[in-house]
Amino acid sequence: MDLLKLIEQTAEGLGYELVDFETSPRGRLMRVFIDSPNGITVDDCATVSNQLTRIFEVENVDYDRLEVSSPGLDRPLSKPADFERFAGQDVQVRLRMPIANQRNFSGVLQGLKEGMVTLETEKGSMEIPFEEIEKARLVPRF
């Protein structure tokens, strides 16, 4: 059984997007991060948590604790759709391999086209191949 697929299908079935999923080293703690266009409330987290608890019982998933929460203001960007949806936002990007001796970049996300993420940085516009991005997250403006 593919646990990630099970969690993703459950969240989507309830009308939420699975943003991220983490487990502790022996899978005793599971953290599920969900989002929706209207944001996430405590009730949303409870709904997904209750549904996952029931499904894990049926599927005999062994764990000690389940946490369901919103991804926060600095939500990670992982799917290609994230890079389109959050165009115009400030982001931090970490690359798998350095470009000109640099792995970390920040700027305004311009979007994703044909596998290339465009980032407007202080030094100008740059294109990064999507598959070269190790981590990316939103940077909240205050």
List pLDDT tens digits, range 83-109.
999 999 999 999 999 988 999 999 999
Q: Is the pLDDT of residue 25 over 90?
A: no
Name the CATH superfamily for 3-69: RimP-like superfamily, N-terminal (3.30.300.70)
Give the confidence band of 1 by pLDDT, cuts at 50, 70, 90.
low
Q: How far is CA 54 from CA 31, 47, 128, in A?
A: 16, 11, 42
CA–CA separation, 121 and 7 (whole Å): 36
What are the domain boundaries of the chain?
Answer: 3-69, 76-138
List pLDDT tens digits, range 45-79.
999 999 999 999 999 998 999 999 999 989 999 99
- What is the fold, at CATH topology level, of the domain defined by 76-138? SH3 type barrels. (2.30.30)
User: Stretch 12-38: mean pLDDT, rounded?
Assistant: 91
Cβ-based neighbours of 9, under 8 Å, separated by 6 or more: none
